[in-house]
């Protein structure tokens, strides 16, 4: 609008110049002036459009930068806290890049509005990846729970075949073999593409605690069994000794 106003003023001033007797010349000059001003106006208008397109292109590129960062980090399953931390880090980086853009003649309010729009679009992208991560995280947690249960069964099966009178050494030997087999089963979770270290370690820690509790239980039972066996041996030995003594004390027949 200001440029059009300037053009009209120029044309008005040109028409005020006396041109009696040179109407054709002035008419040609006016046509040339109109042609040049129109050309200049179209050039400026095209430049403005190009700047708008360039700003929109930069805007789209910034959103793409954020999404690429989230896509890469979400190849692994993250805890909610880790995902939120990455989101805030990437969002802050993108908004800083936006703040470094030149406004290309745009008003401050326009740039504020575009920044707000970028913020909103980033939050929408984050919601999408959070939804995907929540689903993958839940699936991984269920897988950890299921595998932990299977590993516990692998440990318990040979232990349940032990009797009270098996020695502590036999108990430890059986436990160690079953423990290694059960732990190997759980460790297969590391081969999953979607792998979350914190969740994996959490259930591994629970599994080790349960294994340790079982070891203590069967060890105490074996120790009780050994005491019973030792007591039985002592009683048996006492009975044998008493029997021999009784035999030797019996007077020979007359």
Tens of pLDDT, residues 9-62: 555 555 555 655 556 656 666 667 667 766 666 665 555 555 667 777 888 889
Structure tokens, 164: 């009270």
Reading the block at residue 162, the tokens are 């032990």
Q: What is the mean pLDDT of residues 85-92?
A: 95
Looking at residue 26, its pLDDT comes to: 63
Whole-number pLDDT of residue 80: 86
Task: Using the Cα atoms of residue 67, residue 72, residue 78 and residue 82 in order, give the sign of their dihedral.
Answer: negative
pLDDT given at position 234: 80
C-alpha 82/C-alpha 70 separation (Å) is 12
- Band (pLDDT 50/70/90 cuts) for residue 124 is very high
pLDDT at 1 over 50: no
Decide: 166 and 228 in contact? Cβ < 8 Å: no
Which structure tokens are listed for 192? Answer: 């999953």
Q: What pLDDT sits at residue 24?
A: 63
Backbone angles phi, psi at 195, to 5 degrees: -125, 125
Is the pLDDT confidence value at 131 over 80?
A: yes
pTM of the model: 0.56
pLDDT at 94: 94
pLDDT digits (tens, 9 = 90+) for 141-171: 888 889 999 998 988 888 888 777 778 888 8
Terminal CA-CA length for the chain: 150
């Amino acid at each position: 609008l200001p440029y059009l106003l300037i053009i009209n003023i120029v044309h008005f001033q040109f028409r005020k110049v006396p041109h009696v007797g040179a109407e054709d010349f002035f008419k040609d000059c006016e046509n040339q002036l109109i042609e040049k001003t129109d050309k200049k106006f179209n050039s400026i208008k095209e430049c403005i459009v190009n700047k708008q397109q360039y700003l929109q292109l930069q805007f789209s590129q910034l959103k793409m930068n954020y999404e690429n960062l989230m896509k890469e980090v979400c190849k692994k399953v993250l805890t909610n806290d880790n995902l939120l931390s990455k989101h805030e880090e990437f969002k802050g980086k993108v908004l800083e890049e936006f703040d470094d853009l030149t406004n290309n003649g745009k008003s401050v309010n326009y740039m504020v509005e575009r920044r707000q729009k970028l913020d909103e679009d980033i939050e929408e992208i984050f919601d999408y990846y959070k939804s995907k991560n929540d689903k993958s995280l839940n699936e991984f947690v269920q897988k950890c729970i299921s595998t932990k249960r299977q590993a516990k069964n692998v440990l318990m099966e040979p232990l349940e075949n032990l009797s009270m009178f098996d020695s502590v050494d036999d108990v430890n030997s059986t436990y160690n073999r079953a423990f290694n087999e059960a732990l190997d089963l759980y460790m297969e979770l590391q081969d999953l593409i979607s792998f979350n270290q914190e969740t994996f370690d959490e259930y591994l820690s629970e599994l080790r605690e349960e294994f340790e509790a079982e070891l203590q239980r069967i060890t105490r039972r074996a120790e009780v069994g050994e005491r019973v066996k030792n007591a039985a041996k002592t009683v048996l030995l006492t009975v044998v000794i008493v029997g021999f003594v009784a035999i030797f004390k019996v007077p020979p027949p007359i």
